[in-house]
Amino acid sequence: MNNKNTNSAAQDVQFTAQQLQVLQEVLSYTVRQELERAGVFPKPARTIFSVVEAAEMLGVSKQMIYKMERDGDLQLIELSRGKVKRSIQVSIDEIQRIKEKLESK
């Protein structure tokens, strides 16, 4: 195969900025998946938890989580799709903040 023809053909290929961005995202995602499978790259830690999980982590009842939210002591995250409410979650930052507050009492 003639190297001159191969180089010429490669130089003729041009991508738009958007196409390059999509290609980069796909490659990054694929590489990340393979590294996770190989155990080289750790999976990201969870950052949000259900109300039940948050209550267990804090050693309080589910009702207490909702009371803290009503009293303005805790901020909940409402996940929804359109008009349909899917679930209510609590961020790890909120859990840690409340845990420190409970421990200081």
Look at the chain and report how many structural domains it folds into.
Answer: 2
Domain that holds residue 31: 3-38
Prediction pTM value? 0.54
The pLDDT value given to residue 80: 83
Give the per-residue pLDDT at 68.
94
Q: Is 33 domain-assigned?
A: yes
Residue 43 lies in a domain: no
Indicate whether 22 and 52 sit together in one domain. Answer: no
64 found inside a domain:
yes
Q: Please tell me the predicted confidence (pLDDT) of residue 62.
A: 94
| 3-class SS letters over the chain | CCHHHHHHHHHHCCCCHHHHHHHHHHHHHHHHHHHHHHCCCCCCCCCEEEHHHHHHHHCCCHHHHHHHHHCCCCCCEEEEECCEEEEEEEEHHHHHHHHHHHHCC
The per-residue pLDDT for range 11-57, each reduced to its tens digit, is 666 778 888 787 778 777 777 777 777 777 666 678 899 999 999 99
